[in-house]
């Protein structure tokens, strides 16, 4: 099993470090040929507009959409969540439309407005780090809500082979969400 991590821009090394701690082989993905050698893909946090443009330039956007429709596991964190959304309130960038959610970019403010909030994940506290985080403002019936904030806003969602988190699990030592994605990859 090899988990791909989109490495066009963003905090891909942090995800790689988490999977290394779990002794899982990873592939940094910058091309379609590298993507084709993976069993799943993480789209990390970063700058969603820049990542979107690079996805189009490398033709990875089409490859990701095609594989996702075949049941290939994809996990988007923060900017990655924006990119996998069905719709973005701000209408830019153009999303991949992999999961039936609507997001709002940088909803929680600028870098200076970053915060940490304890959320429940699998019935235990998880210290979620929100940095220029998107908000899930709407979702369809097929969406499984995995975690909510104190005010009931969904921040971790899943639908079939697609996982999304509006926060950065890769910046913590809590590897439960990475383990969940490993399970999704093994059981695809």
> What pLDDT is attached to residue 85?
98
pLDDT-above-70 percentage for the chain: 98
Active site includes 38? no
pLDDT, mean over the chain: 94
Q: State pLDDT tens for residues 11-44.
A: 999 999 999 999 999 999 999 999 999 999 999 9
Q: How far apart are CA 188 and CA 169, in angstroms?
A: 22
> What pLDDT is attached to residue 109?
64
Mean predicted confidence (pLDDT) in 170-185: 97
> What pLDDT is attached to residue 81?
97
Question: Which of the following is catalytic: 70, 78, 122, 150?
Answer: 78
Active site includes 150? no
Active site includes 18? no
pTM of full prediction above 0.75? yes
Question: Which of the following is catalytic: 18, 38, 170, 178?
Answer: 170
Question: Which of the following is catalytic: 122, 168, 178, 186?
Answer: 168
């Amino acid at each position: 099993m090899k988990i791909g991590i989109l490495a066009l821009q963003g905090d891909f090394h942090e995800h790689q470090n988490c999977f290394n701690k779990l002794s899982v082989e990873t592939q940094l993905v910058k091309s379609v040929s590298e993507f084709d050698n993976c069993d799943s893909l993480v789209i990390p946090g970063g700058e969603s507009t820049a990542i979107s443009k690079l996805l189009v330039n490398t033709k990875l956007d089409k490859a990701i959409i095609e594989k996702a429709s075949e049941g290939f596991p994809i996990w988007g964190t923060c900017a990655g969540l924006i990119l996998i959304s069905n719709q973005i309130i701000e209408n830019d960038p153009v999303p991949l439309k992999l999961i039936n959610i609507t997001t709002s970019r940088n909803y929680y403010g600028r870098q200076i407005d970053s915060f940490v909030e304890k959320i429940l994940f699998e019935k235990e506290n998880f210290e979620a780090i929100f940095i220029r985080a998107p908000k899930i403002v709407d979702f369809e019936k097929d969406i499984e809500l995995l975690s909510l904030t104190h005010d009931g806003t969904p921040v971790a969602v899943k639908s079939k082979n697609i996982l999304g988190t509006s926060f950065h699990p890769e910046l913590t030592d809590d590897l439960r969400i990475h383990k969940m994605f490993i399970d999704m990859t093994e059981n695809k």
